Amino acid sequence: MLLTTHYMEEAEAPCDQVAIMDHGHILDMGTVAELVSRRFHEKAVQFDRIDGLGDDRLTTIAAVTSVRHDDGEVLLYSRDVPATIQDLLAVTDAMGAEPQNLTIRRATLEDVFLELTGRAMRD
């Protein structure tokens, strides 16, 4: 069976093999676990964008390996989530701000697509 979708979470559960495509070209292919593990060994710390907190400062937060942006959200990929959150809270507190909608999650196919293409999924 072949399933085409723009919704990565829709493809994660039922598919044995997944191909990530962009502009008609296959960028990578494999199981969900293979695609994610090839690019991410970290967890994602996600929160709403904070004005004045740029990538130059975000990349210096403890244990952050990379920074991505997705539709008004910031994703910090971290090797040590507690250290990252502690440093993030210290940085934002010094700015007089607080991260909104702060979540922690494992990397997903959506993250793989973002990594491969440099942009979020589009409809």
The one-digit pLDDT tens for each residue of the chain (123 residues) are: 677 777 777 777 777 898 888 888 999 999 988 998 898 888 999 999 999 999 999 999 999 999 999 889 999 999 999 999 999 999 999 999 999 999 999 888 888 888 888 766 554
Find the domain containing 30 and state its range.
1-40
Do residues 6 and 34 both lie within one domain?
A: yes
Residues 6+ apart with CB under 8 A from 15: 3, 32
Structural domains in the chain (count) = 2
Please check whether residue 97 lies inside any domain of the structure.
Answer: yes
φ, ψ dihedrals at 43, nearest 5°: -105, 160
**pTM > 0.95: yes or no:** no
Residue 7's Cβ-side half-sphere holds a number of Cα atoms within 13 Å equal to 4
Is residue 121 situated within a structural domain? no
Q: Are 30 and 18 in contact (CB under 8 A)?
A: yes
**Is 33 inside a domain boundary?**
yes
